[in-house]
Structure 1
């Protein structure tokens, strides 16, 4: 998750998380807002919430 870079730092490495969803409903994940226009260099805020989701075996 990227929060902010230190003063004078213009780049930051960001890790990628990948998730595999089962074919059946296993829980609920919501993110609000559902969509948002983005502009390079401008911050934005998203809120997420989930229930009934666990870690995949072996992770």
Structure 2
């Protein structure tokens, strides 16, 4: 999911992870993206992957 550091895409990524999906996320802000990945890891049955760009 691109643009996953905020807004509807962030919420969608977190919900998908919560439901057990493996989520690949990308955004311009690596700091915010790391926060989303950490949050999804705390709340989720799935996991998140954020590539370095």
TM interval, short-chain normalised: under 0.3
TM (normalized to structure 1)? 0.22
TM (normalized to structure 2)? 0.23
Q: Which has the higher helix share?
A: 2
Q: Which has the higher strand share?
A: 1
Greater RCO, CA 8 A, separation 6+: 2
